[in-house]
Structure 1
């Protein structure tokens, strides 16, 4: 049963990373069609909330219930875990480039591990340390090998990027706490609602919605459903089975899938350095799967490293 849940968790997070990775070239295609990134985030959060809320209202109203004592929890998650992550990620793109922003955000597992060690929830073992180093090095190689920009870090971009990473780490850890009590859909629904309200400050949503027509809207709907609602649902479901560290490291497969998708869909070439980076991240994910075997041993032989 234990190993079965671990496997389910890995499959869920891998599927989320797969959908996120595929969505990278699609987002780039939308930007080439003059879709504004900030407006896309606003539309994304509003439509995601409405879609999840409508689904639950029709098929499972009980999942819309949120106890009064958890209002603050959802508010904090929506502000820091949704609105702040979206803003800092986009600001990092504007201050650096897309590749650098992705690399900085996916340093999140380092923050998750640090928090876990300080709280006594994770052990700074050889396996954890090796996986973190391999994932970070792999992300660096993928960015450094990018022919369209490479690594570009300004002081503002670095601060913003590390804020995005720490916010995403918070999102992962804080969501884990809520999953002990609520369905992933419940947490997604109300945290997205808070995030959507925050983005209304950016501009009137009617302005964003009125800018796009026809084919662009079909792509936006795809992005909302298969790059937001479904993958985040899978990510949360996987998080309910895995530790935040394993979830974060497995999600690091997104840059690998994004690079492969860009090659297949947009014809972007992969350099030797990027291939090495992909291999490094794949190895990192393989390394943390060794913890499954160790976890099973603990059930029979007691704790080990």
Structure 2
């Protein structure tokens, strides 16, 4: 069975979301060693950059070539999707709770749909609106278990949380045009490099030297950089290179939440049943709706015309 280019693109975005959802495992493990979240926010792009750089140096150095304009836009992408996002997201966790941060983060598809409509003239269709509502509802139920009591809202935390959602929303918006001009490996490599560079502004570099780099710490740092960062952003960029709709990609990427909850159940025995399971099913349903909803409506319209 042959898949259309857009279906392949959305598939890669879904894979990306699954990788994003693995971050909790490694963050939890590193927290035991008193490694702060800002330091994790530096190591994620820094190690990812080293991995991409080594791969390209040995595999294809041509992908390291880029013009000044491209470098400028990728620097912006690195600052927004790595530095700014990490800063806002971790600040939300500090000011509120992890659950609150996750719920606020997934306002991102709303921002994407608005920006994609303005910048790329992407249509605001009924299936897309319904899928968005189902997706956001699913993320809320999955993260909270349906209880508002687990949320801890204050004005500062709310602003940081919405800032994280907006920063995450800029990933498909900025990368959509970049993937038309540059190879996805080029984009991924330099995005991580700039992300690490800008992250130095928010940490004390001396703290890097004070870490006890034992085998478990190194293993978790590399895994944190490789799976929920390097591979996650790489697959997202590959997906966007198929010239897919940013708005649809942002909704499909919400599979991160069910994956995060499922891995928490496997590794930390956190509850996954009841309302949370309903939330997971809603997120999966939204992905199906965004992929096949418009196709179904078109086929129904054609059938009506043929009957008339």
TM-score (normalised: structure 2): 0.89
State the distance in 1 between where 2:250 and 2:289 align: 13
Does 1:265 find its partner at 2:267?
yes
Tell me the distance in 2 between the aligned counterparts of 1:36 and 1:280. 34
Q: How does 1:138-157 map onto structure 2 within 5 Å?
A: 138-145=138-145, 150-157=150-157
1:124-169 deviations in Å (ceiling 9; x for gaps): 211010011011111111232188x722221111111111111111
Task: Identify which of 255, 274, 277 aligns with 1:275.
Answer: 277
CA distance in 1, matches of 2:46, 2:205: 9
Task: Give the whole-Å Cα distance in 2 for the aligned partners of 1:2 and 1:76.
Answer: 36
Moved more, 155-164 or 71-80: 71-80
Deviation at 1:120, TM superposition (A): 5.4
2:136: which partner in 1? 136
Within 5 A, what are the aligned runs for 1:109-120? 109-119=109-119
Quote the residue 2:173 is aligned against: 173
Q: 1:282 to 1:54 in 2, by over 3 A?
A: same
**How far 1:106 moved relative to its partner?**
1.7
Q: CA RMSD in A?
A: 2.5
Task: Show structure 1 runs of 5+ residues with no match.
Answer: none
Corresponding position of 1:105: 105
CA separation of 1:296 and 1:58: change in aligned 2, threshold 3 A: farther
The structural deviation recorded for 1:121 is 2.1
Q: Match for residue 233 of structure 1?
A: 234
TM-score when normalising by structure 1: 0.90
Could you tell me how far apart the structure 1 residues matched to 2:234 and 2:298 are? 27
Question: What is the aligned length?
Answer: 299
For residues 249-296 of structure 1, the C-alpha deviation after alignment (integer angstroms, 9 at most, x for no partner) is: 111011111111111111111242211211211111110011573699
Among 262, 279, 289, which residue is 1:287 paired with?
Answer: 289
Measure how far apart 1:188 and its partner are. 1.6
Alignment of 1:1-305 (within 5 A): 3-119=3-119, 121-145=121-145, 150-205=150-205, 207-214=207-214, 215-241=216-242, 242-291=244-293, 293=295
